[in-house]
Chains A and B, each alone.
Chain A
Amino acid sequence: MWLGNDLKLPQTRLTIVSYIILGMIALLLVGFWKLQVIDSDRYTQLAERNRVRTIPLIAPRGRMLDREGRVLVDNYPSFSVLLLRDDAQQVERSLPQVAEGLGIPLEDLHKQLDESRGLPKFQPILIKPEASPADIAFIESHRADLQVLEMVMVHRRRYLPNGFMAHAAGYVGEVSPELLENSNGRYRPGDFEGKSGLERQYNDVLVGTDGLRRVLVNSIGKEVGRLDQKEAIPGKAIQLTIDYDLQVVAEQALTGRKGAVVALDPRTGDVLAMASHPAPDSNLFAVRIPREEWKRLNEDPDRPLLNRAIQAQLAPGSVFKIVMATAMLESKAIPESFSVYCSGVTDFYGRAFHCWEKRGHGLVTLHNAVVHSCDVFFYNVGKHLGIDRIAYYASQLGLGRKSGIDLPAEQTGLMPSEEWKERVFHQRWFPGETISVSVGQGAIVATPLQLARTIGGIAMGGIFRQPHLLLDAKKVGEERFSISEQTTEKVTQAMFGVVNEGGTAAGVRLQGIELCGKTGSAQVIGAEGLKRAGRQTRFKDNAWFVGYAPRRKPEIVVAVLVQEGEHGASAAAPVARDVIKAYYDKKSRRNQQQLTVEYKRYQVNPDAALAGFQALRKPVSRPLEANSAQTAH
């Protein structure tokens, strides 16, 4: 039987095995000693590099909507193509195919790879910032064989094309190094912020809060686990006072011209339209504007980056006569019945001052002087009032100071006075300067927005609402400058006459709409300057028109500037008319729709027939004015 092994146990060999075991354990302990005691510092450092990495989840910027909720500024998802460089051999092998598939010159890729040699290997490089649908298709279809390509989604800003509302909306750009430093980590390099316009004004509302994902990466940067994720909070949308339909009219009217249009609702301060031309295509800024393009925009003599609606400081010309008329009536320094004989030229302080109408206007009173824009009449008014009184009223009516609109970099304009000239030029005020200022020339300059606000405020009887672009603005400032009922009545009648009594803007008369306004044609440089410039260079007059409707308590006031447009009546007034007409067309359509809705309700719910009928009766009374507007064509 196999059990009968009578040999003794090999005790010696067993003991040898014991020593082998002890030796083995000792050897292993030496190994641990080396790692944990002798080299511990080195490995501690390596462990430090195994770290938590945070990956930002970019919050999309808030959209901009018009007053009816139509999208004006939007985002679109854009894909950037990344090249993963972990596997150098694979990269080298795939490069020709990548170059061909994405349409990037092979040398460029090699150059980029060379430049990024110093970066950690796990950090991919961006080889194409904006992947086209074809690029995306290419990457998707080569997922298996071109593993070196990866895409990341970012949100890019999308503006309406052709510079639509470009200045009011503004644009975004990568955060500046200064802001980066001062933001206490709120911004990271490559983040976008609003650089101008509403993008900048309401940047804090629009930006939202980026989320983040915390992942664990090991010492070679490979993601080994996900800790947590904080979702991005998209930026809030802002609803603007802008009416897309009116904006379209304004933009179209300015196409190919240099100028600005501002439409306000003087009752609320709502900016219904704001256009400035020439305008840059803000979409250029949404990715990363090429340096040459940026240079071109900045050096363009037409200054496309200037928001003329709030930044063009130009002589208001005859539009200023409305301020003069108000000042004359309110100050009572001159009787209402004051009249002047205009022969086309007059003489003050030994110098000849011409009326634009060389044949002269004959005997003019205030009303006629406004309607026909008689310069001689207002020269005399100015002489009687004196510059300080003019400056007081102009300033009270909003000139020479900011309107407070919610846009960055609004210009103040300038209302000159004796004190001003003394302070700035250390010179005495010449009485002759007052004569020029009386017709909106000389040192006085204003922005289109200021003029719209001033004329609208006068027509409102002295109530000046702070212009604003944010629809539900919490605190809208209001200034009151008491203008007497008679003054308001007289001045607005005169502006009514400009359009409706054969005045300077008779050509823009609208049936059924009380369109009022004042034209202006302002010289760009003085008569002497013009002489000096010679005949080669022609400095055409700037054309102005500030129109509003209806005559009292206006709903809309539109200031139009067409630079080098020469005549306010022909170049600027039709633009204001078109915007105002668009406003009334919309209004009558809206009222009609309301009628239809009421009618339907009446039909659908016969049980409530009586109640419905009574409800129906109310709106019926309102569309009357709209009906008249409809026949205005």
Chain B
Amino acid sequence: MREYDWWLLLFAFAICGLGMVEIYSATHNSHLAGMHWRQLSWIGLGLLCMLVLSRVDYHQILDQSPVLYLIGIAALVLVLAVGRTRFGAKRWLPVLGAFLQVSELVKLIIIIVLARFFSEVRTEQLALAELVKAGFLVGLPLGLILLQPDLGTAMVLVPMALVGAFLAGLQWKHALAMIALGAMMLPIGWHFLKPYQKERVETFLRPEEDPKGSGYQILQSKIAVGAGGFWGKGLGQGSQNQGGFVPVRYSDFILAALAEELGFVGVFVTLLLYAGLLLRLVQNAQRASDRAGMYLVMGVAAVLGFHVLVNVAMVIGYMPVTGIPLPLMSYGGSATLFVYLSLGLVMNVRIRRFVN
């Protein structure tokens, strides 16, 4: 147990604690009251999973990556076929009496699969062929998730591949080519977006045109953040939060609620905790005993970092509404489980850092 990264856990727990306080504050006088206790039970379950996952040597897990990949793809197909539709998207599969978001599980699997894939690259520079292979490896599940449709989660797979490729020796010319290709793909991809997704992007670009729809959400979020000021209005005192003006204030927009009630000071502390968490992850990667371990840890860092970036940027109106929760803070069972499972992978790598 001494080998666990207690600093990392401390950051995680602090963030979870802030999240629980804010979930309580946002929901205690509504029909959702008591949500923070449910969140706590998810955290407990997540810790248990983390413990179990950290015990199994990650090399053994990596050994199973082809199988895991197939399971992941099968689950995604299954969810499209028989999944529960909630909030307009097929994302949930009934597992153990609860509904789990399959894409959260798939994120974990892709971290493992990519770690295995990149650790097999034995050159200092990443060859184009390998890069294309990685692209296909990620492209298949990404396409399936897009079909649900869940643009947010699908997007998360991209930074995983990018960070992996970067560490595997991505060449600058390839990077530039990818950026160019991406820019060209944008107008084509636009046609495949669902109307509501287009609307979100449009309102992000011109929020004043539609203050009622998704532009409304961003506007309300910004009002809450701005009204919080430097010191905040105090817990349970945020009129935007308590009045229910902040959209999904216990989940995707929880940071807006926190920003209103705890002010810039609270946000500063929160973001520092995230910075600490992410830097600690990179440190663990740097101390990994082999490249496979590093890729695992950095995969986790990529996912969490991307989540933080996209969610926080959305709260302050720097990005469109994508439905990506803030890891460890937002209410949500599947997401919480995923974060603790991925931390389990990190612990796994850390425990075995002196093996070779």
Contacts and interface: CB of A to CB of B under 8 A. Distances in A.
Interface in A9-27: 9-11, 13-15, 17-18, 21-22, 24-25
A225 B249 CA distance: 14
Contact of A3 (B167, B245, B290): B290
B227 interface: yes
Contacts of B282: 14, 17-18, 21
A122 B285 CA distance: 55
Interface stretch (A32-40, A67-75, A152-160, A386-394): A32-40
A13 B225 contact: no
B226 A35 contact: yes
B99 interface: no
Interface string B225-267: 1111110000000011001110000000000000100011001
Interface stretch (B77-85, B173-181, B273-281): B273-281
B209 interface: no
Contact of B124 (A7, A36, A50): A7
Contact of A50 (B223, B228, B267, B274): B223
A352 interface: no
Contacts of B211: 220
Contacts of B264: 32-33, 36-37
Given A14-B285, A219-B219, A36 B263 contact: yes
Interface stretch (A41-49, A98-106, A198-206, A418-426): A41-49
A296 interface: no
Nearest to A25: B275
B275 A47 contact: no
Interface residues of A, number: 42
Interface residues of B, number: 58
A33 B225 CA distance: 10
A50 B212 contact: no
A10 B286 CA distance: 8
A76 to B, nearest CB: 36
A120 to B, nearest CB: 12
B223 A219 contact: yes
A42 B229 CA distance: 10
Contact of B279 (A7, A22, A42, A47): A22
B43 interface: no
B350 interface: no
B119 to A, nearest CB: 5
B227 A2 contact: no
Interface string A506-541: 000000000000000000000000000000000000
A592 interface: no
A293 B85 CA distance: 62
A36 B225 contact: yes
A609 interface: no
Contacts of B239: 47, 50
B69 interface: no
Contacts of A219: 219-220, 223, 245
B298 interface: yes
Contacts of B309: 24, 28
Interface stretch (B4-12, B104-112, B183-191, B312-320): B312-320
Nearest to A7: B291
Interface string B71-90: 00000000000000000000
A29 B223 contact: no
Contacts of B163: 17
Given A2-B119, A9-B286, A31 B226 contact: no
B10 to A, nearest CB: 18
A33 B259 CA distance: 11
A88 to B, nearest CB: 12
A86 interface: yes
B215 to A, nearest CB: 10
B267 A218 contact: no
A113 interface: no
Interface of A: 2-3, 5, 7, 9-11, 13-15, 17-18, 21-22, 24-25, 28-29, 31-37, 39-40, 42-44, 46-47, 50, 52, 86, 216, 218-220, 222, 224-225
Given A47-B223, A86-B212, 7 more contacts: A2-B116, A5-B121, A36-B229, A36-B230, A37-B230, A47-B224, A225-B244
29 contacts: A5-B121, A7-B124, A9-B285, A9-B291, A10-B167, A14-B294, A14-B298, A17-B167, A17-B282, A22-B275, A22-B279, A25-B272, A28-B316, A29-B267, A31-B316, A31-B318, A35-B226, A36-B228, A36-B259, A36-B263, A40-B227, A43-B227, A47-B227, A86-B212, A216-B244, A220-B216, A222-B216, A224-B244, A224-B245
- Top 4 A-B pairs, shortest CB-CB distance: A43-B226, A47-B227, A36-B264, A31-B316
